[in-house]
A and B are shown apart, each in its own frame.
Chain A
C-alpha cells in the first residue's frame, strides 16, 4: 500500500522540479509549494493518445477568440499563385479541308479546281499572315512548312523517349496532355519514313485572347507523309499498329505562337481531323461496348441490333 502510494506520487515529485526549467528558474527563487495529494482517484499511467483528441475542432474556435483577446494579430494569408498563360485553349476558326483532298491528282479537272481554291487561301488567312509577318520577321509561307515538319518529327521522337523538357518546348500546354495521356506506362515506337508531298501552309488566323493586342498566331500546315507506329502496353505486348508496315498519312497540323512575346516559339498546338477521314484500324484486343437499355422481361435480339457508329464530324485534336 505504501509502495503503491509512493509510486503514484513519483511523477508529481518530478513535475515540481521540471517546471523550474522555465525562465523564472534563472531568478533562483523557490516559493513554498503545497503538497497536493490525490486521494480518491487512482493515477492512470497509461492514457491512450486518442482520448485527448476528442473535441479538438471545438477547441480551435476558442483558440482563435483567445488569440484575438490576447492581442496576437495574424496577417491575412493570401492563397494566391500567379499563372502564366502561354497558349490558347483551342483552335480558332478551324480550317475545313476540302473533301477528296489527296485523292484527286492535279491533272484532272476537279484536281485543278481544288488547287486553284487552295492557292487563293482566303482573304482572312492573307490578313493573318500579314499580321504575323509584322511581329515575326522571319515568317515566310515557303520556309515555314519545312520548319513545321521538323517540329512535328522532333516532338514525336521526344514523345517516344518521353523527354518532358524537350516536349514542352516543342508542343503547347494544350497539346501536351492530349499527346501524353495514357501513354506513361506504354512503349511507343514511331518512325517517320518519308514525306510524300512537300508540306504547305493552308490556313492562318490571329486571334487575341482576353485583352485586345494580346496576339496569338495559329497556322495550319497540310502534310502528306509515310509513318510507322507501334504501341506496346506495360507488359511489352503489341496493342496497336505494326513496326514494319508504313502507312500514308494526310495530316493538318496547327502550330501556334504567342506573337507579342519576343521569346515565343512556334509550337505544335493540335491536329484537325476532317469529317471524311478514313476509319482508323481497330486495336488488337476485343472491347465490350455497353448494349441497349432493356426493360425487365425484354430479351436482347442480336440479329436486329446494329452497333451505333460515331457521326462523321470534323473535330480537332
Chain B
C-alpha cells in the first residue's frame, strides 16, 4: 500500500497528510468528467418564473376578447442587496415600459442600470418571440426582488474575533403585459364617508333573540 511508509512514523499531522493525498488521487480520476466548477453559483434555483413563458393557451373564439400577451423575465444572482433593489422594484410597478425605462435611466442607484437592461431584454423578447405588436404597448404588471445565494467571507475584528461577512446577491423578476396599465380607482371623500355610514348602519347585536 502506498501509505504504509507514513503510518509507522505515527504523527497525527502526517497521517492527515496521507489521507489527503489518497483522497486527492481519487478525486483526480473524477475531475476530468466535471465541467468548469464556476459556471453557475446556484444550481438548485427555482426555475418556475422562466417556465411561465412556456405556458400555452388554446386558440380563442372570434367573439372572445383578445387575450393580452404576457412576458416573464428575470435575472439571477445580481451583485446587489435585495432591500436596496426593493425600492426600485416598487418604483416601477404599474408604469408603462417607456416610463419605467426613462425613470431607471436617470436614477443614480447601481441596481437601476441592471434593471433597465432586464426591461430592455424583456421588451426585445416580447416583440421577437411572443408576438407583441408594438413594443411601447407594454406595462410592468409585476416587479419584485428576492434573496439570491450569498457567499460567506470572514470579517476580521480585534482580539482574534471574527464575523461572517455575507456577499449579498439578489434575483430580480419582472412581468410585462400588453396594453395600457389598469387605472387605480379614485375614491372620493364622499364615497368613503358613505361607506363609513353604511358600515355603522349595518351593525347588529350578535346572538340576540
Contacts and interface: CB of A to CB of B under 8 A. Distances in A.
B2 A70 contact: yes
Interface string B34-64: 0001000000000000000011111110000
Interface string A58-88: 0010011011001010100100000000000
A53 B37 CA distance: 10
Interface in A22-61: 22-24, 31-34, 36, 42, 44, 46-51, 53, 56, 60
B29 A74 contact: yes
A234 B131 contact: yes
A50 B164 CA distance: 12
B209 interface: no
Contacts of A46: 154, 162, 164
Given A48-B153, A50-B153, A232 B59 contact: yes
Interface residues of A, number: 44
B67 A237 contact: yes
B25 interface: yes
A280 interface: no
B11 A33 contact: yes
A48 B154 contact: yes
B15 interface: yes
A50 B152 contact: yes
Contact of B19 (A19, A31, A64, A237): A19
Given A63-B24, A239-B131, A234 B57 contact: yes
Given A33-B11, A234-B56, A51 B28 contact: no
A60 B60 CA distance: 59
A208 B124 CA distance: 44
Contacts of B19: 19, 22
A15 interface: yes
A19 B58 CA distance: 64
Interface string A233-251: 1111111000000000000
Interface string B105-140: 000000000000000000000000011011000000
Contacts of A235: 57, 60, 67-70, 131
Contacts of B25: 63, 66-67, 70, 72
Contacts of B59: 187, 189, 230, 232, 236, 238
A43 to B, nearest CB: 10
A237 B131 contact: yes
Contacts of B37: 53, 56
A305 interface: no
Contacts of A24: 7
A42 B164 CA distance: 16
A311 interface: no
B31 A60 contact: yes
A286 interface: yes
A159 to B, nearest CB: 16
Contacts of B164: 46, 48
A16 interface: yes
Contact of B11 (A34, A48, A56, A233): A34
B28 A67 contact: yes
B134 to A, nearest CB: 8
Nearest to A24: B7
Interface string A265-297: 000000000000000000001100000000000
Contacts of B134: 286
B189 interface: no
A185 interface: yes
Given A48-B153, A187-B59, 19 more contacts: A15-B12, A31-B8, A31-B10, A33-B10, A48-B154, A51-B153, A51-B154, A53-B37, A63-B25, A185-B54, A232-B59, A233-B130, A234-B55, A234-B56, A234-B57, A235-B57, A235-B60, A235-B67, A237-B69
Of all A-B residue pairs in the complex, the 9 with the closest CB atoms, nearest first, are: A31-B10, A233-B131, A232-B59, A236-B60, A285-B133, A48-B152, A42-B160, A236-B57, A236-B59
9 contacts: A24-B7, A31-B10, A32-B10, A72-B25, A72-B29, A187-B59, A230-B59, A237-B60, A285-B131
Interface of A: 15-16, 19, 22-24, 31-34, 36, 42, 44, 46-51, 53, 56, 60, 63-64, 66-67, 70, 72, 74, 77, 185, 187, 189, 230, 232-239, 285-286
